[in-house]
Amino acid sequence: MAESILNGRLILAVDDEPDVLEVLEDEILGYAPTCKIEKVTTYQEASKKLESQNYDVVILDIMGVKGFDLLEQSVKHNFRTAMLTAHSLNPESLKRSIEMGAYAYLPKEKLGEIVPFLEDILESSDGSTVWGRLMNKLEGYFSSRWGELWKKSEEKFWEDFDEKKKAK
């Protein structure tokens, strides 16, 4: 196995479910044993961490910890941020994550596949490159979950998004 770009990096993981944080930590450390992961379970703790540390990657749950508020704060500090969700797994939250500057939007069902997504985030020069790779990997999943026409209600947004992906 090649050495992970996550080794030696500092990650902040925020989720109100401690068991999700444990799974995240186990997954990441299984591939990158020298990665340092700070885990917090509340909005307040996360907000303080975002103001006091520099992170290579931030992973935010959407529900339970006011993830979109934390995303705004994280983006303000230029942290590469991945949104993680189970309860807010819908096209509206995906679109909002993109618009607010997240680098990724991942279903909690895919926690076992998170390391390649995080590596993509670190290897990318900008978020649009990561979004292209992420959508190539997950668009079929989203379609099976939300129906084939899930982009229809925001057709112009998704057409523009697809054009940006192709340009990269």
What CATH number has the domain bearing residue 91? 3.40.50.2300
pLDDT digits (tens, 9 = 90+) for 94-120: 999 999 999 999 999 999 889 999 999
Say how many domains are in the chain.
Answer: 1
Q: What pLDDT sits at residue 124?
A: 82
Q: Is 10 a residue whose pLDDT tops 90?
A: yes
Q: Percentage of the chain surpassing pLDDT 70?
A: 96
Helices 43-52, 67-76: axis angle to 10 degrees equals 0
> pLDDT digit string (tens) for 36-95?
999 999 999 999 999 999 999 999 999 888 999 999 999 999 999 999 998 888 999 999
Q: Retrieve residue 94's tokens.
A: 């995906």
Q: Which domain covers residue 103, as residue numbers? A: 10-126
Token pair 């997954």: residue: 27
Decide if 48 contacts 69 (C-beta within 8 A). no
The residue with tokens 């895919």 is 110
pTM summary value: 0.93
Residue 131 lies in a domain: no
Give the containing element (helix H, strand E) for 28: helix 18-31
Q: Is 40 among the domain residues? A: yes
